[in-house]
Amino acid sequence: MGDPDNRDRDESGLSDKAGVVVFSRILSTIIELATMIVLVRILTKDAIAVIGFMLLMHQMARNFATFGFPESIFYYFEKVNPASRRSFAVQTIAVLGALGVLAGLLMIGLSFAAPWLLRTWSAENMALLQWLLPFFALVAALEIPTWPINNILLALDRQKHAAWYQIVMSTTMFFALVGPVIVGLGVEVAVYGLAGYAVFRFVVSAIWFQAVLPGPSEPLPKGTLRQQARFSIPLGINAFTARLNRYIDKFVVSILLSAAAFADYQVGGQEIPLITAIPYAVGSVFISRYVSYQLAGKRQALIDLWYRGVEGVALIVVPVAVLTIAVAHDIITLVFGQRYAPAVIPFQIYTVILLHRVAQYGAMLQAFADTATILKFTVVILVCNLALSIPLTLVLGISGTALATLISAGVGWILYLRRIGHHLETGLAKVLPWRIYLRVLVVAGVAGVAAWALRFTALESLPQVAALAVTVVVFGALYAGLGTAFGAIRRDHWSTAWGWVRLRFLWQ
């Protein structure tokens, strides 16, 4: 049966680790949004075009050059001998260092090709772009090798270190890039500041790494690098394909419909990024334990932990999705203006997709080293989305495009569940804790219908912001009360939630 105290400490530790990653991802998303808002409000359109293009190239280089190698930390830290973990981490950082240098060289090459690619740009903007791109190349070469550090800290159960590492790096990058712009020093100094941040990140990451994984370390078995590449490269290709899938429906709308319809879809055709971060964060925390149980042959323990993760994520994601669907009109028109009211229905359809995001399904397949299947499913979803988007867009407009994305996401969901069931040696009926999930969905649905009815009847005469605020409070109270009364929300759930609100993982 095990020691109940040890089990409680273990569950608290996993909850804290999940809190760290959720907090870090949400913080990073907020900082990225804040960075773009400040830059857009202060800089001229020409300056925004230059720095926006460079930031786009930087993000692409970072996403492609990492190639899934940082994610391999979670799997191989459980598989290799603990005495060889430092060697594995050094191997991963060395590979990413080489890829970072390659990415930097490609960006330098891009500075020479820019006049041919961007023929409509003015000579002044082109000269500025060509001068600054090599500094972004330096940023890529220094930043990419540090990308596994956060995962290393989490894999070593140093969740407080991981949280502070992410906070320090995110805030430093924000002030290094935005600070010069705020005080009027211009784009050039902002890019120099970003290069300074990259140097700072590289040095601090090296010190932090040495502190948590001091030498010496035993050598790795022969063939480990080849095995790591086979594990990681499909993840890297999958990340690229998934990003392409994220934009394919918008590409279809831009070709088939008017510019106004495309603008509406740009607003409505998206999931809430702060919510989608939660299942991926929890999955990246639990994957090490998934791997440990899988390698030890503890199938029931693996299923129990999988269920627990789904249950915890569902308690947050499902009610937020339901509430968002209920007040979608207020969200769209308040944030973007009444002229974007046509985006409401596509936004509601897109938000329905969130109802199935109660787990990072790829994390379970990674635990079984089944990364090739993840890539295959992503390609299937992409093809399905493209095949459905064209006819449904022609028939139903932007609502049809969103519907195509929803259907393809549903197809992917079934494929993932069937494959996970295969590995867990169970069927669709038991691959998820359906009873718990449906209980949460029903409770959230009842609260959502009640809140929607209240908003568009009794609260209709109030100012829009006041009506939205009252609706959110009423929904929260109904969901909490009904969830507790019908057993969807337990005492331990409230305890975990209170720990997250207090940011316990930063201090304990």
pLDDT bin (cut points 50, 70, 90) of residue 16 is: low
pLDDT bin (cut points 50, 70, 90) of residue 40 is: low
Residue 1 pLDDT greater than 50, yes or no: no
Q: Taking residues 478-507, what's their average pLDDT?
A: 80
Distances (CA, A) of 442 to 166, 314, 434, 439: 36, 12, 12, 5
Residue 506 pLDDT: 58
Between 351 and 3, name the one with better pLDDT: 351
User: What global pTM score does this model have?
Assistant: 0.75
Residue 9 pLDDT: 53
Tell me the domain boundaries of the chain: 10-211
Residue 124 pLDDT: 85
Residue 294 pLDDT greater than 70, yes or no: yes
Strand (E) or helix (H) holding 422? helix 398-424
Residue 63 pLDDT greater than 90, yes or no: no
- The 10s digit of each residue's pLDDT in 377-413 is 989 999 999 999 999 999 999 999 999 999 999 999 9
Residue 107 pLDDT: 87
Mean pLDDT is highest, among 71-75, 279-283, 440-444, for 440-444
Helix 273-296 and helix 4-42, axial crossing angle in degrees, nearest 10: 150
How long a stretch of residues is the chain? 508
Cβ neighbours of 278 (radius 10 Å)? 23
Mean pLDDT is highest, among 58-62, 134-138, 175-179, 474-478, for 474-478
Residue 88 pLDDT greater than 90, yes or no: yes
CA-angle at 268, arms to 262 and 269, nearest 5°: 75
Residue 4 pLDDT greater than 50, yes or no: no
pLDDT bin (cut points 50, 70, 90) of residue 13 is: low
**Rounded CA gap, 508 and 505, in Å?**
6
- The 10s digit of each residue's pLDDT in 223-270 is 999 999 988 888 788 877 777 777 788 888 888 888 788 878 877 888
Q: Taking residues 169-180, what's their average pLDDT?
A: 91
Q: What is the mean pLDDT of the chain?
A: 86
CA-angle at 204, arms to 194 and 229, nearest 5°: 90
